[in-house]
Amino acid sequence: MNNENIKEILYIILDHLQDKKVTWRLEGSANLKIQNVETKVNDLDITTNDEGIGIFRDVMKEFIVKDFFSEKINGISLVCNIIGFEVEINSYGNRELNMFDRTRIIFWNGIKIPILPLEYAKKFYESINRKDKVDLILRYIS
C-alpha cells in the first residue's frame, strides 16, 4: 500500500464519517509511514472506542467483511475491504492501549488525521511486545 492508497482510503473513511462525533486514531504501519518512517504498509489500522465501533459499523457497513469479538485485543474488531485493501478498526478491551489522550491531529496530504506520535507509538508497541516495531521507531526518534 502506497501513500496514494492510504490517502484514498482515508478520504473514503472521512467522507463516510462526515459530521459524526467519533473518537479514533490511525494506528499501525500507516501511522508510522505518514510520520515519515520507512516501513511497508499492508493494511490500514484504526483504533476507536466502544461508541466509535458502533458508529464505524453503521457508516462503513458497505465495506465490512468481518465483525467479531477478537480474543487477541479483547475487544471488537471490524475488518473492511476498501479499494481492495484491508482496513481493520479495533476497540481494545485494554483501555490503556487506546492512548486517545496522546493522539494528535496532523495535516497530511491535505487531510486532517488523528495519529499517535512516534514516542507514544513506541510505548504502544512495547506494551504489545512488538520489538521489531520498537526498534524501527527508535531509529527515527533517538
Report CA-CA distances (Å) from 11 to 17, 69, 108, 126. 10, 27, 11, 30
Buried b / exposed e across 84-93, counting CB within 10 Å, b at 16+? ebbbbbbbbe
At 85, which CATH number?
3.30.460.40
Residue 49 is part of which domain span?
3-137
Q: And the C-alpha cell for 14?
A: 472521512
For residue 142, being part of any structural domain is answered with no
Taking every pair of Cα atoms in the chain, the longest distance, rounded to a whole number of angstroms, is: 42
For the stretch 57-110, pLDDT in tens is: 999 999 999 999 999 888 999 999 999 999 999 998 877 778 899 999 999 999
pTM of the model: 0.91
For the stretch 21-45, pLDDT in tens is: 999 999 999 999 999 999 999 999 9
For residue 27, being part of any structural domain is answered with yes
Number of structural domains (the chain) is 1
For residue 59, being part of any structural domain is answered with yes
For residue 99, being part of any structural domain is answered with yes
For residue 104, being part of any structural domain is answered with yes
Per-residue confidence band for 6, with pLDDT thresholds at 50, 70 and 90: very high
For residue 132, being part of any structural domain is answered with yes
